Amino acid sequence: MSENARVISESAFRHRVREAAYFRSLKRQHLGAYLASGNGATSDWQWAEQHERSFLNGFNIWVVPDEYFDCLVRVVAHKLWQERRNSTWKEVWKFADKELREQQGIRPSEQELVERTRQIHSAMEPGLARVDWVRARDYVSGRLDVRGQWDVLRFVGFEPTTVIVIRERAA
């Protein structure tokens, strides 16, 4: 198979299953007797898990443990950071050279230029490192793995009137 495989973390998969089970339970409530298959929330959960697995398998997306996913994202983020650093280094070098020429009035020494370039480049790093991490996560999972504060998710429990509020927090 020549196409690339994508991966999604176990926690993101569980989140997708919870969402699908929630919407299935809403549909079961509204349709009532027309969708009276299974035993309520348990069948919704089983259906959602099976549905999500078949959807992900259809697009060659594998579910991996969170630790493996984070390691893979870390490697890809580092590669993206290196590519961005290499592509912006010349631009920052030119900017530092221009800035030092304006300050000193003469051409700066090589050591001063390297030092100033590193200062400017390191000042750019903190904000862009987060961007690399997000880009890597999107690249690895095909934008299916989301992390952070989830929206409040309401899941209909074992009785039709019971609503459990589930909140997730990213590690």
**Distance (Å) of CA 45 to CA 18, 22, 23, 70:** 7, 8, 10, 26
Read off the pLDDT of residues 104-127 as tens digits, 9 standing for 90 and up.
888 888 888 888 888 887 777 666
Which of 88-92, 120-124, 143-147, 163-167 is predicted with the least confidence, judged by mean pLDDT? 163-167
* pLDDT at res. 152: 32
C-alpha atoms less than 13 angstroms from C-alpha of 112 in its C-beta half-sphere: 12
Read off the pLDDT of residues 127-137 as tens digits, 9 standing for 90 and up.
666 677 777 87
**Distance (Å) of CA 104 to CA 17, 115, 123:** 62, 15, 22
- The 10 Å Cβ neighbour count of residue 137 is 23
Tell me if the pTM is above 0.85: no
- Does residue 169 register a pLDDT over 60? no
3-state secondary structure of 113: helix
Least Cα distance to 137 among 148, 147, 129 occurs for 147
Read off the pLDDT of residues 15-39 as tens digits, 9 standing for 90 and up.
888 888 888 888 877 776 555 555 6
Q: Give the angle subtended at the CA of 157 by the CAs of 156 and 163, to the nearest 5°.
A: 55
The backbone torsions φ and ψ at residue 76, rounded to the nearest 5 degrees and listed phi first, read -65, -40
Give the residue, 168 or 96, on which the prediction is more confident: 96
